[in-house]
C-alpha cells in the first residue's frame, strides 16, 4: 500500500486513505492556486474585464430601471477599455451589444452609449442550469 501525498504540500497524508489534503488550509491553498490564474496575461485580462464590469455597474447604481445613456468619455475617464468584453450579440433589430458579464452597452453614436444590465437572460455560459420541478409553479 502506498501512502498518499497531499495535493497541496505533497507531504504524506495521515489518517483516512480517501483524503486528498492534510487539512483545510492545504485544501484552500490548492483551490486558490487552481482558480487564481498565475499566468500574467490571463490575470491582467481578467482584471480588465472585472474593472469594466464594475464601471458599468457603477453607472447604473441607484437606478430602478437598469438602463442609462452615458458619454463614452465618462467611461474612458473611469478606465473602461472598450476592446475587452465577455460577450457580443445582436438583437433581432441588428443592434450590437457588448457585455462584460451581466452588464453591457451598445453604441448610440460616436459620443454616447446605452449602458444596460442584462435582466432578460437568466443564464450565462458556464452557469449551471437546474431542472425545474414539474408542477411546482
Which residues sit at the interface with Zn ion, rule CB under 5 A? 6, 8-9, 22, 26
Query: Shortest Cβ distance from residue 7 to Zn ion (Å)?
Result: 8
| Closest CB to Zn ion among residues 30, 97 | 30
Query: Shortest Cβ distance from residue 21 to Zn ion (Å)?
Result: 5
| Closest CB to Zn ion among residues 34, 108 | 34
Query: Shortest Cβ distance from residue 26 to Zn ion (Å)?
Result: 3
| Closest CB to Zn ion among residues 6, 75 | 6
| Closest CB to Zn ion among residues 18, 137 | 18
Which residues pair with residue 104 across a beta bridge?
A: 99, 116
Please report, to the nearest 10 degrees, the dihedral formed by the alpha carbons of residues 39, 43, 45, 49 taken in order.
160
Query: Shortest Cβ distance from residue 35 to Zn ion (Å)?
Result: 18
Amino acid at each position: 500500500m502506498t501512502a498518499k501525498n497531499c495535493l497541496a504540500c505533497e507531504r504524506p497524508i495521515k489518517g483516512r486513505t480517501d483524503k486528498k489534503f492534510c487539512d483545510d488550509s492545504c485544501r484552500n491553498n490548492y483551490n486558490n492556486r487552481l482558480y487564481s490564474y498565475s499566468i500574467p496575461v490571463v490575470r491582467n485580462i481578467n482584471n480588465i474585464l472585472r474593472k469594466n464590469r464594475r464601471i458599468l455597474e457603477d453607472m447604473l447604481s441607484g437606478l430602478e430601471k437598469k438602463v442609462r445613456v452615458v458619454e463614452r468619455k465618462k467611461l474612458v475617464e473611469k478606465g473602461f477599455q472598450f476592446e475587452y468584453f465577455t460577450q457580443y450579440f445582436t438583437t433581432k433589430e441588428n443592434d450590437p451589444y457588448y457585455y462584460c458579464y451581466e452588464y453591457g452597452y451598445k453604441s448610440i453614436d460616436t459620443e454616447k452609449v446605452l449602458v444596460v444590465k442584462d435582466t432578460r437572460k437568466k443564464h450565462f455560459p458556464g452557469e449551471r442550469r437546474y431542472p425545474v420541478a414539474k408542477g411546482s409553479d
